[in-house]
C-alpha cells in the first residue's frame, strides 16, 4: 500500500504527528491513490482536480465523517460542520457578518489587542518568551473583543476562562473518532471536557440573555437595524459586535433568525476556527522573519514608514503590501489548516480516476504549497512570490490556505487583516530571535503548530513611550 498509511502507522501518527506520514511521492505526484483505515483515499494535489472537487462539482462532496467528528464543536452544528440545506441557510445568514465593511470595522479591535501584546513583549526586553502562547492570547483577545464587546458584569474574566477550558477539553483527536464509532459511545476526552463545555455554555447563555434583553429595550429584537449587509448600527446604544450581529441576523430568503443553540454553536465555531489558526499564521511569520535578516529588515522598514510613531491602526493596511506578502508566504510554508478532506457522495471522475461513492479525497495545503510541480524552490522562504508581477502567476488552486469554493473560509479577510496588523504592531516595537538550540518542529494537530512552542528572545526596537 503506497502513499496512504496502514492502520498502525495511521493511528500512531494521528496521535503524534500526521505530517510524518506524507511521503516523497506526495510532494511530486499530482495524485496518490491508496486504501487506508478510512476506506479508499485519493490525495489530490493537482490544481485542476482540486477545482473540480471544491468548486465545479462541490455538490457531490461532503465533509467526511472524521472531519465532522473531530471538528464538531462539541455543542452542535456550526457553520464549519453543517451540511446540505442547513449549511446553505447558515452560510446565507452569516455571510453579512464577515462582509468587507464589517471586518474593516473590527480593525480597531484587532489593533488594540495587537498593541497590548506588542507592549507586553516590549516589557520583557532581554527575556525569553513563548511566541506561540503570546499569539494565541492575542487571537483570543481579538475574538473576545469582536464577539462580545461587553463581558460578564459580575466576573469579567469568566469568559476567557470558559473559552480556554473549553478548547483545552475538546482538543485532542480521539481514536474512537478515527474508527468512526457511534457518537453515543463516550469519548474519554469529551467526558473530561464535559464540565468545561457546561461552563462555556452557561457563560455564553448568560451573555446571550443579557444581549437579547438589551436589544429588546432598544427595539432591535426583530433585527430591523442589522439585517442584511449594509444596515447601519444602533447608534452606539447596543454594541455592534458579532454577538449582536448573530442575534439579529436573518436569512435573506426566509427571514428566519438563529435559535439560541445555533448562536451558541456558531460562537464556539468562530472561536475554534479562528483562534489557533490565526495564532499559527502569526507565530510562523515571526519564526520565518527571524531566519532571514534581509526579509526582516525590509519588513521593519515598511512598518516604520507606514506607521511611524503612531500605534498600528487599520488605516495602515494599504501601506503594508510586503507585510501581507510575508504572512501569505508563511501560510504557504506552514498552512495553519494543513489539510481538508471530502467524501464523494455519488460516483465521479477526477483527472481520469474513477471515484466510487464514499471515496475520501484529501486536499492538503501543506503538500500542495510545497509541491515540486507547482512551485520553484518550494522550500525557500521568499515573500516576493506574493508581490506583483510574480503574484499573478500563482494558480488559484495551488495556494489555498483558506480553502476554495462554496466552503471557503468565511473568516479569511478577518484572519489576514488580524495577522497583518499583529505582525506589524509587534515588529514596530520589538525584534524577536529564536532561542539558540530551541527545536522547531511543525506538528499537525487540527492546526499546524510548533511542537514545543516558539521560544524567542525579545530585543526592544521602540521604547514603550513611542
List contacts with ligand HEM (CB under 6 A): 63, 79-80, 91, 269-270, 273-274, 277-278, 281, 336-337, 340, 401-403, 407, 409-411, 414-415
Q: Closest CB to ligand HEM among 447 and 458?
A: 447
- Considering the complex, state which of residue 196 and residue 362 has its C-beta at the smaller distance from ligand HEM: 362
Rounded CA separation 163/283 (Å) = 21
Which residue's beta carbon is nearest to the bound ligand HEM?
411
CA distance 162 to 200: 5
Least distance (Å) between residue 218 CB and ligand HEM: 25
- Give me Rg for the CA atoms of the chain: 22
Classify 74 in phi/psi space as left (phi over 0), alpha (psi -120 to 50) or beta: left
- Min dist. Cβ of residue 100 to ligand HEM (A): 14
Signed CA dihedral, 54, 60, 65, 71: sign only: positive
Distance of alpha carbon 390 from alpha carbon 356, whole angstroms: 39
What is the closest distance, in whole angstroms, from the C-beta atom of residue 335 to ligand HEM in the complex?
6
Residue 360 C-beta: closest distance to ligand HEM, Å: 12
Judged by beta carbon, residue 337 or residue 458, the one nearer ligand HEM is 337
Q: Which residues pair with 129 in a beta bridge?
A: 456
Of 27 and 284, which CB lies nearer to ligand HEM in the complex structure? Answer: 284
As measured in angstroms, the least distance from the Cβ of 334 to ligand HEM is 10
Distances (CA, A) of 321 to 239, 266, 354, 391: 32, 32, 43, 12
Kindly compute the dihedral angle of the four CA atoms of residues 50, 54, 56, 59, in this order, to the nearest 10 degrees. Answer: 140
Neighbouring-strand partners of residue 459:
431
| Residue closer to ligand HEM, measured from CB, 66 or 340 | 340
As measured in angstroms, the least distance from the Cβ of 380 to ligand HEM is: 21
Are 431 and 292 in contact by the 8 Å Cβ rule? The answer is: no
Q: Which triple of cell numbers denotes residue 420?
A: 497583518
Residue placing its CB nearer to ligand HEM in the complex, 21 or 269: 269
Amino acid at each position: 500500500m503506497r502513499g496512504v498509511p496502514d492502520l498502525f502507522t495511521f493511528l500512531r501518527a494521528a496521535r503524534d504527528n500526521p505530517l510524518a506520514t506524507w511521503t516523497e511521492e506526495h510532494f511530486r505526484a499530482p495524485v496518490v491513490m491508496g486504501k487506508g483505515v478510512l476506506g479508499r483515499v485519493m490525495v489530490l494535489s493537482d490544481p485542476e482536480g482540486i477545482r473540480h472537487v471544491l468548486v465545479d462539482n462541490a455538490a457531490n462532496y461532503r465533509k467526511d465523517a472524521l472531519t465532522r467528528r473531530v471538528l464538531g464543536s462539541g455543542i452542535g452544528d456550526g457553520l464549519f460542520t453543517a451540511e446540505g440545506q442547513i449549511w446553505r441557510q447558515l452560510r446565507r445568514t452569516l455571510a453579512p457578518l464577515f462582509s468587507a465593511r464589517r471586518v474593516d470595522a473590527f480593525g480597531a479591535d484587532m489593533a488594540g489587542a495587537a498593541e497590548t501584546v506588542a507592549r507586553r513583549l516590549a516589557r520583557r526586553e532581554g527575556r525569553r518568551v513563548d511566541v506561540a502562547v503570546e499569539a494565541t492570547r492575542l487571537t483570543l483577545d481579538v475574538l473576545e473583543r469582536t464577539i462580545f464587546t461587553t463581558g460578564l458584569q459580575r466576573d469579567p474574566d469568566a469568559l476567557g476562562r470558559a473559552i480556554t477550558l473549553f478548547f483545552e477539553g475538546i482538543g485532542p483527536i480521539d481514536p474512537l473518532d478515527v474508527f468512526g464509532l457511534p457518537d453515543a459511545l463516550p469519548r474519554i476526552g469529551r467526558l473530561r471536557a464535559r464540565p468545561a463545555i457546561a461552563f462555556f455554555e452557561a457563560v455564553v447563555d448568560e451573555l446571550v440573555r443579557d444581549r437579547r434583553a438589551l436589544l429588546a429595550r432598544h427595539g432591535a429584537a426583530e433585527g430591523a437595524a442589522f439585517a442584511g449587509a449594509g444596515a447601519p448600527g444602533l447608534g452606539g446604544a447596543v454594541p455592534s459586535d458579532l454577538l449582536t450581529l448573530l442575534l439579529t441576523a436573518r436569512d435573506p430568503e426566509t427571514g428566519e433568525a438563529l435559535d439560541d443553540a445555533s448562536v451558541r454553536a456558531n460562537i464556539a465555531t468562530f472561536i475554534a476556527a479562528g483562534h489557533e489558526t490565526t495564532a499559527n499564521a502569526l507565530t510562523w511569520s515571526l519564526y520565518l522573519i527571524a531566519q532571514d535578516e534581509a526579509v526582516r529588515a525590509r519588513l521593519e522598514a515598511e512598518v516604520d514608514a507606514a506607521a511611524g510613531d503612531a500605534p498600528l491602526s487599520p488605516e495602515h493596511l494599504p501601506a503594508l503590501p510586503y507585510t501581507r506578502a510575508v504572512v501569505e508566504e508563511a501560510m504557504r510554508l506552514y498552512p495553519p489548516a494543513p489539510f481538508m478532506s471530502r467524501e464523494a457522495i455519488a460516483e465521479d471522475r477526477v483527472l481520469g480516476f474513477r471515484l466510487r461513492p464514499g471515496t475520501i479525497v484529501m486536499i492538503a495545503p501543506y503538500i500542495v504549497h510545497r509541491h515540486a510541480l507547482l512551485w520553484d524552490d518550494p522550500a525557500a522562504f521568499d515573500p516576493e512570490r506574493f508581490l506583483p508581477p510574480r503574484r499573478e502567476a500563482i494558480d488559484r488552486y495551488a495556494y489555498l490556505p483558506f480553502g476554495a469554493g462554496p466552503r471557503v473560509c468565511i473568516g479569511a479577510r478577518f484572519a489576514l487583516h488580524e495577522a497583518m496588523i499583529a505582525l506589524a504592531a509587534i515588529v514596530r516595537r520589538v525584534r524577536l530571535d529564536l532561542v539558540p538550540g530551541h527545536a522547531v518542529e511543525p506538528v499537525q494537530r487540527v492546526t499546524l503548530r510548533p511542537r514545543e512552542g516558539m521560544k524567542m528572545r525579545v530585543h526592544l526596537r521602540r521604547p514603550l513611550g513611542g
